[in-house]
Structure 1
Amino acid sequence: MATNTPGQITLESIQQNIRDIAGVRITCSFVSDIYKIKAMLESQKDIAVLECKDYIQHPKPNGYQSLHLIVQIPIFMSDREELVPVEIQIRTIAMDFWASLEHKSYYKYNKEIPQRILKGGKKETGNKEEQNLPKITFFNLPKDKRENLVHAAKKEFARVPLYQASISNIIKDAKIPRGSFYQYFDDKEDAFFYLLNSHVSAYKMYFLETLQKNNGDIFDAMIDFYTAIITEEKENLQFLRNLFLNMTHRIENVMARSFGENDLNENFKKISNLINKDRLNIQDEQELFHMMQIISSVTFHNIVKKFAGELPFDEAVHNYKTEIYLLKKGFASK
């Protein structure tokens, strides 16, 4: 068999040494989504993960963050099957924006990017939800220190609503200097919306699972979802109580993503695909969207009534079920 001389480019050497002959980039909303996607890929029987580079836990010196996977997938030829390595990059929308901005700035500033650009990168997104992400330095923290800071912030936002919350209390409980807090967040709103988005991401996963468990019955799924909200553990429940009793339009928009969306986007279509529309008196996606908006209003109203009136669990669930079943039945006589 012929041997390859050093530096010689052959089909065999290409197959052995090029690991990213094909590439895929996946962007998602939150950091937690990245690892969920990774777990989904690892569970695929026809995909083998060969290598993982986690630039989220270990960012590059220039601030670059992303999760890189080299996976092996089967390619079916006319006469055989070839296993081909493919690179998959998974990152949040904010990380993707930052990577693009950093790359352009690298050449614009002759490979020396000013610190004001590096520090201010996240504010360039123009998206309010993305603007309330922690700074890159927060994700550079060891996991235990991140969790300690998050717990201290959650404790403060469970004690009082956002407008009354004190950064002094957060740093005292976290046992960090005030200057350190501002290395991780621009202000208390950043910390609050980071926590809120984390809750919403978890609620969305739970809602999708609940929809599947109820065979696409949106009404039964919403009852399960409502019950889960009002039976949260004590600290989470107090956080939600302050949130709902001091609701703003922006907070409502973020919370609504737990089981719906604010417009007919791709995420709404994912939810729509799990809903059994054969049992609904709707004509199209537009009507489904408006139906979800009505259910959202009823749900939020009932959560506020539960917290404001300190209703017993059984009474709160009975009231919600009554309103949901009225929506399901309809008000017009046939």
Structure 2
Amino acid sequence: MIKRTFYNLPEQKRQRIIDAIVEEFSSSSTEKVSINRIVKAANISRGSFYQYFDDKVDLVEVLTKSFVDLSIEGANKALEYSNGDIFYTYEKLFEIITKFAQDKTQKVILKNLLRSLRANDDLVSEYLLNRFNGFEELNKIAKQYNTDNLKFKSSEDVEYLSQILTQLLKNAIFNYFVIDVDYQTVKKTFLRKLEIVKSGAVAQF
């Protein structure tokens, strides 16, 4: 767990550490990430590192925090704007997540993390299984979906629908960040799949 001492650091020093973490993860696969290189680049001692972080898993949280926060914020805004339209929300989530690729460093980091996830890397798996709170936030969002225009109304069915759309989103993200399929192709395919699912889920009036 990231310790409060890290967040209490002067902004300049905290940013220097973040920059060192970003540089390390953008130039190395997760299994080769080196704490020694990070502390050297950040100009801190190894002892200081452990005053701020428990282990390397915390570094994954540092990297993904802004990404996750912006995604959750965007999903909530999309829900509010669309009066709880689940399909509109996932379309906007796709736009928010792929927008990170405009920053080449962020794209490389996400690519490395996703590759590690696919390979069941211990570092990323530990973060997702035990420290990532994004799934909990997504569950909260799922409870806000408007079921008025859906063929089914139960919370269980809406959760299943959300799981299907999440899997489509994951596939699109993986194809874009890891397989390097061009953006327009990924977007077109993702939106078409959304439309197919929507045609079976939305009631016709």
- TM-score band (shorter)? 0.7 to 0.9
Distance in 2, Cα, partners of 1:188 & 1:312: 32
CA root-mean-square deviation: 2.5
Q: TM-score, normalised by structure 2?
A: 0.81
The runs of at least 4 consecutive aligned structure 1 residues that moved more than 3 Å come to 248-256
* Paired position in structure 2 for 1:289: 159
The structure, 1 or 2, with the larger RCO (C-alpha pairs under 8 Å, 6+ apart) is 2
Alignment deviations for residues 250-270 of structure 1 (CA, whole Å, 9 cap, x no partner): 555638538723xxxxxx2x5
Alignment deviations for residues 220-248 of structure 1 (CA, whole Å, 9 cap, x no partner): 22112112211212222222212222214
Distance in 2, Cα, partners of 1:227 & 1:244: 18
**What is the number of residues matched between the two proteins?**
192
Residues 259 and 173 of structure 1: CA distance in aligned 2, closer, same or farther (over 3 Å): same
Conserved 8 A contact 2:6-2:14: yes
Note the C-alpha offset of 1:285: 1.1
Counterpart among 177, 180, 185 of residue 307 in structure 1: 177
Residue identity in the other structure for 1:231: K
Residue identity in the other structure for 1:137: T
Structure with more of its chain in helix, by fraction:
2
Note the C-alpha offset of 1:219: 1.1
Distance in 2, Cα, partners of 1:240 & 1:258: 21
Distance in 2, Cα, partners of 1:258 & 1:325: 26
Structure with more of its chain in strand, by fraction:
1
Alignment deviations for residues 17-75 of structure 1 (CA, whole Å, 9 cap, x no partner): xxxxxxxxxxxxxxxxxxxxxxxxxxxxxxxxxxxxxxxxxxxxxxxxxxxxxxxxxxx
Distance in 1, Cα, partners of 2:104 & 2:40: 21
Note the C-alpha offset of 1:276: 2.2
Residues 151 and 230 of structure 1: CA distance in aligned 2, closer, same or farther (over 3 Å): same
Distance in 2, Cα, partners of 1:256 & 1:219: 19
* Paired position in structure 2 for 1:260: 138
Distance in 2, Cα, partners of 1:213 & 1:204: 14
Note the C-alpha offset of 1:314: 0.6
Determine what percentage of the aligned residue pairs are the same residue.
27
Residue identity in the other structure for 1:146: R
* Paired position in structure 2 for 1:135: 3
User: Which has more radius of gyration?
Assistant: 1
Conserved 8 A contact 2:176-2:186: yes
Distance in 2, Cα, partners of 1:258 & 1:160: 30
